[in-house]
Structures are given as structure tokens and as C-alpha cells.
Amino acid sequence: MTPKNFRITMIYLGVLAIIILLSIFIYIIMRPQLSQLSQQQSCPVRSIDDISQAINAHSGQAYERDIRVLEDPLYPPLNRTDEPNFNAMATEVKSGDIYVPTNMNKQDSYRLIGYLINNESVKDAGGNNWKFFGRMKDRYTGEYYISPTNNNIDLKIPLTNDIVVGDRLRDLYTLPREMRFKSPMLNTGVYEYTEIPKTDFTNTRYL
């Protein structure tokens, strides 16, 4: 190797060494900032509770209502409007700004009041045996829905006037012993209604 080539080689090695040293120095200086940036960009692991809270925070009262329709046997089968309008309306109602009840009977809640049984050989959508739920909508009128006694069948049917054959179902205290319905999920024959006894207030254990 000639002296000229040797000098050129040493210059290249010196420059390379300087670049490596500068890279190491910059990495040491910038490492905390790079670590923080990486943490911000990475997706954190979220628990089921975190996800549930996030869904509730986003969807609000509409989500809670939808879950109760599916999971709560004492919540009626109700549809709703779009989520933003429903949440806005629900907030207004709960704050007392609109639809303020003037009759305390409007505060009644649904409860199991009896059972419906159909004795036809053809089984309806609920297996011919239904739990009968009701509440007093106002002083004179009740609201009703049924669900199968078989808990493996996920179904609720509102007993509205358009599916009740014959006299309308009125208050909870004058329900007929026999009912007929016009619904693709129910048989056309007679359903026998059996009311369950009410609470005996003399036994405080079962209030």
C-alpha cells in the first residue's frame, strides 16, 4: 500500500469512527424521548371493564336500555329511535324537563302477574307456556308482555291491542281467564290465564 493510499484509508476510517460515535451519542441523548413516543403510539392492553366503561361512556343510556331489553326479564320488549336522539330525550325526561308524571300510577313497574297456557298439540314459538308480565300504565289501563317459561327461548311478545282478539286487556284486576291472540308467534286457540297470588303483607319475610 502506498503512503497516499494509506492516508486515504485512515481518513475514511476516522470519518467512520466519528459517525459511529455521533450516532451513539445521539441515541443516548434521545432515548428517553424515543421511549415516551413509543409508549404513546403503542396500543395499551385494555381490560373487559375498561372496554365496558368505554362503551357505556360512548353509548350512554341507549346502550344500557338495549342490554336490559335483552337480559332483564322485567324490562319490556321496546324498540327505540336512533341513539343520539334517544340519549338526548332520555336525559331531558330524567332531568324532569319534559314528560313530568302527574299520576303516580305512571310510576308502576313490570312484574310477573301470572301464566298463560295453550293446550293445542301444535307448539307456538314459546312452547305453549308463557310468563305473563304487566304493570299499570295509568289509573285505568295496564300494559303487558309475555315470555316463555322455558328460559332457553329468548323471546318477549308485547300484548298490544292489535294482536289481542276480542275485548282489550284493560287493568290488571279485571283480566279474563281465557285469551286469544292474532300473532304469527302464537296459536289461534285459547290461552288459559292463571294469576299468581299477591304479596301477603302479614308475612314480612316475603315483602
User: Would you write out the chain's pLDDT as a tens digit for each of its 207 residues?
Assistant: 666 666 667 776 777 777 887 777 676 766 665 555 555 444 455 455 554 554 555 557 888 889 999 999 999 999 998 988 888 888 888 777 777 766 655 689 999 999 999 999 999 999 999 999 999 998 889 999 999 999 999 999 999 999 999 989 999 999 999 999 999 999 999 999 999 998 888 877 877
Q: What is the pLDDT of residue 31?
A: 63
Tell me what pLDDT residue 47 has. Answer: 56
CA dist list (Å): 11 to 1, 4, 15, 18, 20: 15, 11, 6, 11, 14
Q: Look at residue 87 in the predicted model and tell me its pLDDT.
A: 84
Alpha-carbon dihedral sign for residues 176, 180, 183, 185: positive
Rg (alpha carbons) of the chain, rounded to whole number: 35
pLDDT at residue number 139:
86
pLDDT of residue 24: 76
Has this prediction a pTM greater than 0.85? Answer: no
| Other Cβ atoms within 10 Å of 86 Cβ, number | 17
Residue 18 pLDDT: 79
Residue where the block lists cell 371493564: 49
Predicted confidence at residue 43, as pLDDT, reads: 45
DSSP assignment of 56-109: HHHHTHHHHHHHHHHH-TTS-------HHHHHHHHHHHHTTSS---SSGGGG--
Pick from 132, 122, 109: which is nearest to 193 by CA?
132
